[in-house]
Amino acid sequence: MIENVRGQIEAGSGITIINKSKNIEIKTNCALTERQKAIILAGGLLNYTISR
């Protein structure tokens, strides 16, 4: 499970994945450029292009 994925991507500090069945938290590195973040947050490249 990934809680508040939008907020985590916007913050740029990484993404925390939670495995509820094993009660484990996995912290990942999310090295994205500002443009890549904008594309993901828009819902993909097509949506990003349309919104521009």
pLDDT at 3 over 90: yes
pLDDT for the residue 52: 85
- Whole-angstrom distance, CA of residue 15 vs CA of residue 44: 18
Per residue in 7-51, pLDDT tens?
999 998 899 999 999 999 999 998 999 999 999 999 999 999 998
pLDDT for the residue 27: 96
pLDDT for the residue 13: 86
pLDDT for the residue 36: 95
Select from 39, 30, 38, 24 the least CA-distant residue to 8.
30
Phi then psi for 18, rounded to 5 degrees?
Answer: -115, 125
pTM: 0.78
Select from 13, 4, 19, 12 the least CA-distant residue to 38.
12
